[in-house]
Chains A and B, each alone.
Chain A
């Protein structure tokens, strides 16, 4: 079946620290992989995505590389800001519409 395992939080970092949120997946076939972000009180926003092995998705300083050999899609950012405080969800989709989400990782960045 399809599933996503995501690093549990909460994660608290100081501003300008390096961020890694681990994500691994199980899927049949070749899914697309996504990171969504949920800011307090808001819905989900697409942060980045990758549609095939070795693709790197990037946006707003965040990056994630689709690693088929390790079935991973870890999220990284070199220098976090207070405004990055949010909940981050790793997800996969095979059809482009139906998604399987990880449990979410809450990130708090302190000044």
Chain B
């Protein structure tokens, strides 16, 4: 099946620094990718929709200036957590699908971010 690769799987950073997370579709082109965040013991919540060649669409309550999304090619989307704070510590996961309708998406392995 289709593969989505996410990197890094774990990252620890200091408060105030920025962290970039990459999401790649390895064997298909993805015009749209999705970024989710999972708080401890809670479900995954959609943060934003990443659109190739255009601006990302953010869900209500998600700070677009803090969570920068760049979808520069059909196989790569990046999420940059800027000026990270401990409350940004979470599990971030991306998804993408090779077709538009009526199929499942493929999820990356996720990134565990810890801000100290």
Contact = CB atoms under 8 A, between A and B. Distances in A.
Interface of A: 6, 32, 34, 36, 42-46, 49, 51, 89, 93, 95-104
Contact of A51 (B49, B99, B100, B102): B102
A96 B99 contact: yes
A44 B100 contact: no
A43 B109 CA distance: 4
B94 to A, nearest CB: 9
Contact of A44 (B45, B93, B102): B93
A60 B42 CA distance: 25
A100 B45 CA distance: 8
What 7 A-B pairs have minimum CB-CB distances, sorted nearest first? Answer: A43-B110, A43-B109, A44-B107, A103-B43, A96-B103, A101-B43, A97-B97
Interface in B36-54: 36, 41-46, 49
A34 to B, nearest CB: 6
Interface residues of B, number: 26
Most buried by B among A32, A43, A98, A101: A43
Contacts of B32: 97
Contacts of A34: 104
Given A43-B6, A96-B99, A104 B107 contact: no
Given A44-B93, A93-B105, A101 B100 contact: no
A36 to B, nearest CB: 8
A61 B73 CA distance: 39
B91 to A, nearest CB: 9
Interface in B74-116: 93, 95-97, 99-105, 107-110
